[in-house]
Amino acid sequence: MKVHLTKSFGFEAAHWLPTFPEGHKCRRLHGHSFRIDVIVAGDVPPEQGYLVDFGQLKAAIAPVELQLDHYLLNEIPGLKNPTAENLARWIWDRLAPELPLLHCVRVRETCSSACDYFGD
What is the model's pLDDT at position 33?
97
Using DSSP's 3-state secondary structure scheme, residue 46 falls into coil
Instruction: Give the separation between CA 57 and CA 55, rounded to whole angstroms.
Output: 5
Nearest-CA neighbor of 108 among 10, 7, 2?
Answer: 10
How do the domains of the chain map onto residue ranges? 2-117
Catalytic residue chosen out of the listed positions 103, 104, 109, 115: 109
* 104 is annotated as an active-site residue: no
Mean pLDDT of the 80-86 span: 98
pLDDT in tens, 37-78: 999 999 999 999 999 999 999 999 999 999 999 999 999 999
What phi and psi values does residue 15 have, to the nearest 5 degrees? -165, 170
Residue tagged active-site, from 12, 70, 75, 85: 70
Contact 79, 87 (CB under 8 A): yes
Q: Is 15 a catalytic residue?
A: no
Average pLDDT rounded to a whole number, residues 26-39: 97
CA distance readout (Å), 48 to 26, 44, 52, 54: 47, 7, 10, 14
Whether 26 is catalytic: yes
The pLDDT score that the predictor gives to residue 23 is 95
Of the residues 26, 98, 103, 104, only one is catalytic, namely 26
Distance CA 97, CA 111 (A): 29
CATH of 2-117, one of 3.40.630.30, 3.30.479.10, 3.40.30.10, 3.50.50.60: 3.30.479.10
Paired strand residues for 32: 13
User: Per the confidence metrics, is the pTM higher than 0.85?
Assistant: yes
